Amino acid sequence: EAAVTQSPRNKVAVTGGKVTLSCNQTNNHNNMYWYRQDTGHGLRLIHYSYGAGSTEKGDIPDGYKASRPSQENFSLILELATPSQTSVYFCASGDAGGSTEVFFGKGTRLTVV
């Protein structure tokens, strides 16, 4: 069973603070993704990666950084968190090529106060 694990599952952060969201996959997938989900916007791609050491900007990268130190791990970093980054964040993994099933983690609910 494909597995994508996100931590933490819930996080309250203060404005201006640093937040790191972690994601681990045991699928041996090359591609990993970070999305945020907001009501009325569906899923929006923040950053993605094709493999260890690679990070690419998605559709809404401003205010976020990503790190892919290994095949299994992909982190999303908010250096200076703002209330507008309050959202639910999903990590996902998939085989290279994009035309195959993508597996999602359970999500992280981030509240920036």
Partner 1 sequence: GEKVEQHESTLSVREGDSAVINCTYTDTASSYFPWYKQEAGKSLHFVIDIRSNVDRKQSQRLIVLLDKKAKRFSLHITATQPEDSAIYFCAASSDSNYQLIWGSGTKLIIKP
Q: CA angle at residue 12 from 61 to 85, to 5 degrees?
A: 25
How near is the Cβ of 66 to partner 1 at its closest, in Å?
15
* DSSP-H helix ranges across 1-113: none
How near is the Cβ of 51 to partner 1 at its closest, in Å?
13
Size of the chain in residues: 113
How near is the Cβ of 4 to partner 1 at its closest, in Å?
9
Q: For residues 31 and 55, which CB has a smaller minimum distance to partner 1 in the complex? A: 31
- With 0-12 / 13-18 / 19 or more C-beta atoms within 10 angstroms meaning exposed / middle / buried, residue 110 is buried
Out of 10, 12, 17, 106, name the contact with partner 1 by CB under 8 A.
106
What token pair was written down for 75?
């982190």
* Residue count, binding to partner 1 (CB under 8 A): 21
What is the distance of C-alpha 56 from the center of its chain?
12
Interaction between residue 61 and partner 1 (CB under 8 A): no
Interaction between residue 48 and partner 1 (CB under 8 A): yes
What token pair was written down for 108?
């992280």
Q: What CA–CA distance (Å, rounded) separates 76 from 74?
A: 7
Out of 41, 63, 70, 84, name the contact with partner 1 by CB under 8 A.
41
Residues that bind partner 1 (CB under 8 A): 31, 40-45, 48, 58, 90, 96-99, 101-107
